[in-house]
Amino acid sequence: MSWKEDVYTVLERDPAPKSFSEALMFSQGLHAVLLHRISHRLYLRGEYKMARLINYWARVLTGADVHPGATLGKGVFIDHATGVVIGETAIIGNNVSIFQGVTLGGVSTAKEKRHPTIMDNVTIGAHATVLGDITIGENVKIGAGSVVVKDVPPNVTVVGIPGKVVQRNKCERDRLQMVRQESLPDPLLEALNDICTSLDSLERRIDSLEEQLKKP
């Protein structure tokens, strides 16, 4: 994949840049991706120190810490790179959108696959955390602030802590349309509503029994 394709990815998904040159010069997420692609090639050649040096300065310049060992597919878009952390064994597919503060982290210190695999066309909302050697299926949307620690099937929306499937998505091509936050179901609110409904039902039954007991 050429660096120009990465620039066009930014222009496709970020309405802020007004031109190719503006996106190239001022998109921190783009810089994080481009510098990672360089460091990743060095990493694969065994030039680990140089790869980590580029990774270090990329973090200083962009605010994103993408380990040289991580694999990024085509069309990966990092918006407002600040706070993004992607671990060494993470695998990210094609056309994935990652927003600020996202962590793709590990839960093991063993030298093995310990970071997530993100399949194609996934959108990960701001400050979401995906932990461990798990797989996030194609076309998944992860809501902002969610914490995902288990495999997620394709074509669903996940929100909450821990992340729960709350909506099944159509497999539309337009994966870039983030689900509006106010339209995402709230698992906690739904649970409270279920409890309230059960309590109302119990109160009605108790009232009915009291009325029967009052009858001579």
Return the pLDDT at 170.
Answer: 57
Top pLDDT among 192 and 29 is at: 29
Assigned fold of 1-86:
serine acetyltransferase, domain 1 (1.10.3130)
Give dist(CA 148, CA 130) in Å, integer.
5
**CA-CA-CA-CA torsion for 14, 15, 16, 20, nearest 10 degrees?**
80
Return the pLDDT at 185.
Answer: 61
Name, in order, each residue with C-beta under 8 angstroms of 35's C-beta and a sequence gap of 6 or more: 54, 55, 57, 58, 61, 62
What whole-number percentage of the chain has pLDDT above 70? 88
Residue 173 pLDDT greater than 60, yes or no: no
| Domain ranges (residues) in the chain | 1-86
What are the angstrom distances between the C-alpha of 23 and each of 27, 59, 64, 81, 176? 5, 19, 17, 13, 18
Mean pLDDT (whole number) for 125-133: 93
* Most confident segment among 4-8, 14-18, 102-106: 102-106
